[in-house]
A = this chain, B = another copy of it.
């Protein structure tokens, strides 16, 4: 049972997961190693940012752990704490974005997080929730990969609640849409937020669900890298990857809530923006050749049933 130490347990899990994921990605890459940057947030807390660069497999990847706390920032007070000037918060989580070198290996993003608000420092909990998600942004259409990804997530979700996958899959489809382009960032995955436990039992169950999501990262991405990393690619494939990375940057800078939360709460900029691609291109009014694989990609990124 999770008692007063629930926050410590969650933090301990995130730290362990960060290590495991970095180890497995280094193993997959075979060459590059993660560098670690520990950082402190002036107002309370901090994090450990781990970044891998210019590897065999990974061009740029970040696995961030953070635990920030303190008085609720002004900008958030109005939104979530109404009149309470003493409101105190803890936010902790892991955030991962991996930009692979090979254009046939998809970009992957995962985030698992826990947020808790107290009526004052050292006070009682007045709100708490779990959130997270995992989603895939390939540069090229690959039906088998998308199916494997979604059916794995479906299995993970079903173990807890049969309503989770359809609900969280739709949430992801809606969330990872580049509204102004009327296109999706990729093939989605699952996304969930504000999962509020009503009691200790529910908290335990939700934490357990969050762990299942976090734990599926390694086997899922290992499989996708192994399937695609040996494929040969041309400069044209690489150019298309740069264009899709431009879209990725657009989404993160214009819409992503995690990014905006970080920018507004004085988070560490380099840790927040490690999600941005190493290299991106914006061509004016670019249209892929008729019937090319590039053109098929745009039709492929639809909110469809992958099961």
Chain A residues at the B interface, C-beta cutoff of 8 Å: 37, 51, 53, 60, 62, 179-181, 242, 246, 249-250, 253-254, 263, 269-270, 272-274, 276-285
Contacts and interface: CB of A to CB of B under 8 A. Distances in A.
Contact of A281 (B37, B51, B278, B284): B278
When A and B form their complex, which 10 residue pairs have the shortest distance between CB atoms, in order from nearest? A253-B253, A276-B282, A270-B285, A180-B263, A51-B284, A253-B254, A280-B280, A279-B281, A274-B284, A180-B269
Indicate the member of A37, A273, A282 with the most B CB atoms within 10 Å.
Answer: A282
A37 B287 CA distance: 14
22 contacts: A37-B285, A51-B284, A53-B284, A60-B282, A180-B272, A181-B269, A246-B280, A249-B249, A250-B253, A253-B253, A253-B254, A254-B254, A270-B284, A270-B285, A274-B284, A278-B282, A278-B283, A279-B279, A279-B280, A279-B281, A280-B280, A280-B281
B60 A284 contact: yes
A37 B284 CA distance: 11
Given A179-B263, A278-B282, 6 more contacts: A60-B284, A180-B263, A181-B269, A249-B249, A249-B282, A254-B254
A283 B282 CA distance: 18
Contacts of A281: 278-280
Nearest to A60: B284
Contacts of A279: 242, 279-281
A250 B280 CA distance: 12
Contacts of A242: 279
Given A249-B249, A269-B181, A277 B284 contact: no
Contacts of A277: 282
